[in-house]
Chain A
Amino acid sequence: GQQVMQIPQYQHVQEGEDFTTYCNSSTTLSNIQWYKQRPGGHPVFLIQLVKSGEVKKQKRLTFQFGEAKKNSSLHITATQTTDVGTYFCAGHGAGSYQLTFGKGTKLSVIP
């Protein structure tokens, strides 16, 4: 079945440093979604990418969807303590309603 791998599993950064998490799918995806889960909280939708090579920005967050629609990345510029949490990517396979989640990258920001 479809698998979504996410690296790194953990990342510790100093406040102000940049952070990137990578997501790779074993199959072509029709879309990629990113969710953020704060400690003790539940996943909250951040963004959805649909087009090959698509790039979207939300303030300090930049999301990319690969040309082959099998990988994606989330880059945070100048991290802040409010960025702490686990970032999950998730994607639908072609024609599938099932959203397959990566295992997430847990971000810690040292003030």
Chain B
Amino acid sequence: GAGVSQSPSNKVTEKGKDVELRCDPISGHTALYWYRQRLGQGLEFLIYFQGNSAPDKSGLPSDRFSAERTGESVSTLTIQRTQQEDSAVYLCASSLPIAGGGVSAKNIQYFGAGTRLSVL
């Protein structure tokens, strides 16, 4: 697609329910990131996928959070037994393959419009 696509754009759920958020990255972008942005706050790194390598899950706040990605395509972020503190915008970003931080335009991250999650 032309850009990073996320769905749904808005999700309202009841406390204790599970939710699944979807991210469709830019074609050819093997790197995919999930971030959480609470109201008025910065971006909190959650998880990173790079091709077929093991994902970096170091940012996931609890075991209620999990994410999957099949190959270099769509990723889903699942939050189980949602809590009110999970309310936030969940942003997905993708980038070209990168070997490490540094000196290439490949490092540019392209963000989706996000999913606004509200837990009542």
Measured CB to CB, the residues of A under 8 A from B are: 6, 29-31, 33, 41-45, 48, 50, 88, 90-104, 106
Contacts and interface: CB of A to CB of B under 8 A. Distances in A.
Contacts of B107: 31, 33, 48, 92, 99
B70 interface: no
Contact of B98 (A33, A41, A97): A97
Contacts, number: 77
29 contacts: A29-B101, A30-B100, A30-B102, A31-B101, A33-B107, A33-B109, A41-B113, A42-B113, A43-B91, A43-B111, A48-B105, A90-B43, A92-B101, A95-B101, A96-B101, A97-B98, A97-B99, A97-B100, A98-B45, A98-B56, A99-B45, A99-B101, A99-B109, A101-B35, A101-B43, A102-B42, A103-B41, A103-B42, A106-B40
B42 A97 contact: no
A100 B45 contact: yes
Nearest to B92: A42
A32 B98 CA distance: 15
Interface string B78-106: 00000000000001010000111111010
A48 B108 CA distance: 8
B25 interface: no
Interface size class of B (residues with CB under 8 A): 20 to 34
Interface in B38-67: 40-43, 45, 48, 50, 56
Nearest to A6: B42
Contact of B101 (A43, A44, A93): A93
A95 B107 CA distance: 12
A45 B109 contact: yes
B101 A30 contact: yes
Shortest 6 CB-CB contacts between residues of A and residues of B:
A92-B101, A103-B42, A30-B102, A42-B111, A30-B101, A101-B43
